[in-house]
């Protein structure tokens, strides 16, 4: 599989861009992200020129995060706020921006990443227009987000635009290498074992890119703000057994209660340590986006191949 690298067009009002260019100083600009994953991308593009602040602490789920007073202040002072978008931060971000932001450039990166519709049952279809926000689990789509980041930063800080572009290209080369490695790693796994079950429905993009089948999730849907019905859990138990699923993956930032119940009912092992919504703490093997993806792909392939014991 090759990378289709296309720098997307930027949709932003000219007045807003001009105001952001005027606000840029020799010391750089103020940049805030809603996700520590996006903060890692932005940091790679800006280098040492700009300090990047993530609202989401390490190890925290982005679904339903509750911002504090410090977050309000950070957004109020920001020139650019990079969000994942696609409904991931719905609720808390809308309220935060409405309260604190005065003219900041709010960039929803997911809208530039060729998003997929939310998965419903056994089919891929939009549920009243709902899109899957977890695009960052596909390095090819992250390339599109990185180009958008460099474009927006260059517009706000024109003196450093060439440096941002150069840094972005260097990072894209690393993302290309990550993608190539993931393709090779997945190809060591028999196709009939490429079946995924997780805490919630977060691996749609990874499955789409690398040829996995998403059998289901303990919490169905791309968010975690709903309860699983007994009927849904029973259907998933049947699917796991009938499709001979090899492992159930527990995510680091989500509740594992239903995952453990699913394992008890099916006899399938639970493999913990899947990073889906946040980078990891020092020593976790997921301190950066690239490290996180390598850890995830390696864990998934090894577990489905039977090389990882329950943990």
The rounded distance, in Å, linking the Cα atoms of 90 and 101 is 16
Share of the chain above pLDDT 70, in %: 81
The rounded distance, in Å, linking the Cα atoms of 135 and 210 is 13
Q: Does residue 51 register a pLDDT over 70?
A: yes
Share of the chain above pLDDT 90, in %: 59
pLDDT of residue 88: 86
The pTM score is 0.86
Q: Is 184 exposed, middle or buried (0-12, 13-18, 19+ CB in 10 A)?
A: exposed
pLDDT of residue 193: 96
Q: Does residue 150 register a pLDDT over 90?
A: yes
Residue 253 binned pLDDT confidence (cut-offs 50, 70, 90): confident
Residue 235 binned pLDDT confidence (cut-offs 50, 70, 90): very high
Contact 278, 252 (CB under 8 A): yes
Answer with the residue of higher pLDDT: 12 or 66: 66
| Averaged pLDDT, 122-144 | 79
Longest dimension (CA), the chain: 62
Q: Does residue 212 register a pLDDT over 90?
A: yes
Q: What is the mean pLDDT of the chain?
A: 84
- Tens of pLDDT, residues 75-111: 888 999 999 999 888 767 767 766 665 667 889 999 9
**DSSP per residue, 104-127:** -EEEEGGGGS-PPBPEETTEE--B
pLDDT of residue 195: 97
pLDDT of residue 61: 75
Q: Does residue 218 register a pLDDT over 60?
A: yes
pLDDT of residue 302: 96
pLDDT of residue 126: 45
* Closest-CA residue to 81 (of 66, 100, 68, 61): 100
């Amino acid at each position: 599989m090759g990378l289709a690298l296309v720098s997307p067009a930027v949709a932003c009002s000219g007045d807003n861009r001009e105001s952001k260019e005027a606000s840029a100083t020799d010391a750089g600009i103020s940049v805030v992200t809603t996700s520590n994953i996006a903060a890692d991308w932005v940091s790679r593009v800006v280098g040492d020129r700009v300090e990047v602040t993530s609202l989401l602490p390490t190890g925290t789920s982005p679904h339903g995060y509750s911002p504090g007073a410090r977050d309000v202040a950070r957004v109020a002072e920001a020139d650019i706020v990079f969000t994942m978008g696609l409904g991931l931060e719905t609720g808390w971000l809308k309220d935060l921006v409405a309260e604190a932001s005065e003219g900041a450039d709010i960039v929803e990166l997911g809208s530039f990443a060729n998003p997929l519709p939310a998965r419903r049952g056994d089919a891929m279809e939009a549920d009243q227009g709902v899109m899957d926000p977890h695009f960052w689990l596909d390095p090819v789509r992250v390339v599109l987000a990185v180009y958008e980041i460099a474009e927006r930063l260059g517009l706000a800080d024109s003196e450093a635009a060439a440096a941002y572009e150069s840094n972005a290209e260097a990072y894209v080369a690393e993302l290309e290498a990550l993608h190539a490695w993931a393709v090779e790693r997945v190809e060591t796994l028999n196709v009939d074992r490429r079946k995924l079950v997780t805490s919630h429905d977060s691996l749609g993009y990874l499955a789409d890119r690398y040829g996995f089948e998403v059998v289901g999730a303990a919490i169905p849907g791309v968010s975690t703000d709903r309860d699983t019905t007994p009927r849904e859990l029973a259907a998933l138990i049947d699917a796991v057994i009938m499709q001979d699923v090899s492992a159930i993956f527990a995510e680091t930032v989500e509740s594992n209660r239903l995952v453990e119940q699913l394992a008890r009912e099916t006899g399938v092992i639970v493999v913990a340590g899947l990073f889906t919504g946040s980078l990891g703490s020092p020593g976790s093997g997921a301190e950066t986006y690239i490290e996180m993806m390598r850890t995830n792909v390696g864990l998934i392939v090894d577990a489905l191949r039977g090389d990882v014991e329950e943990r």
